[in-house]
Amino acid sequence: MRDDWKRHLLNTGAEFEGDRLRDYGNAERERSMAVNGDVICDLSHRGLLEVRGKDAQSFLQGQFGNDLREVTDTHSQISSYSSPKGRAYAVFRVFLDRGAYLLEMNPEPLEPVRKRLSMFVMRADVVIENAEDSRIRFGLSGPSAERQLEETLGAFPLEVDEVMTRNELSIVRVPTMMHPRFEFAGEIDACRALWNDLNVHSAPVGPNGWRLLDILAGIPAIYPDTSEAFVPQMVNLHALNGISFSKGCYPGQEVVARMHYLGKLKRRMYRLAIEGEELPVPGSPVFQAGGDPGQPDGEIVDAVLHPDGLYAALAVIQIAAAEHPLHWGSPDGPVAHVIPLPYTMPGSA
Q: Are residues 254 and 307 in the same domain?
A: no
pLDDT at 19: 85
Measure the CA–CA gap between 345 and 158, rounded to whole angstroms.
23
pLDDT category, 348, cuts 50, 70, 90? very low
Residue 154 sits in a domain of what CATH number? 3.30.1360.120
Q: Are residues 259 and 286 in the same domain?
A: no
Q: Are residues 290 and 180 in the same domain?
A: no
Residue where a domain stops, chosen among 264, 287, 316: 264
User: What distances in angstroms separate CA 205 from CA 38, 68, 176, 192, one per listed residue?
Assistant: 10, 32, 17, 16
Q: What total of structural domains would you count in the chain? A: 2
181 located within any domain: yes
Q: What is the pTM of this model?
A: 0.95
Cβ pair 162, 178 in contact under 8 A: no
- Count the alpha carbons within 13 Å of 77 in the hemisphere toward its beta carbon: 20
Tens digit of pLDDT for each residue in 36-45?
999 999 999 9
Q: Which domain holds residue 119?
A: 1-221+233-264
pLDDT category, 260, cuts 50, 70, 90? confident
β 298-305/285-288 pair status:
antiparallel
166 forms beta bridges with: 169
Contacts of 262 (CB under 8 A, 6+ apart): none
Tens digit of pLDDT for each residue in 142-175?
999 999 999 999 999 999 999 999 988 999 999 9
57 located within any domain: yes
3-state helix, strand, coil split of the chain in percent (to 5) is: 25, 30, 45
pLDDT category, 18, cuts 50, 70, 90? confident
**Across residues 100-115, what is the average pLDDT?**
96
β 267-274/335-339 pair status:
antiparallel
349 located within any domain: no
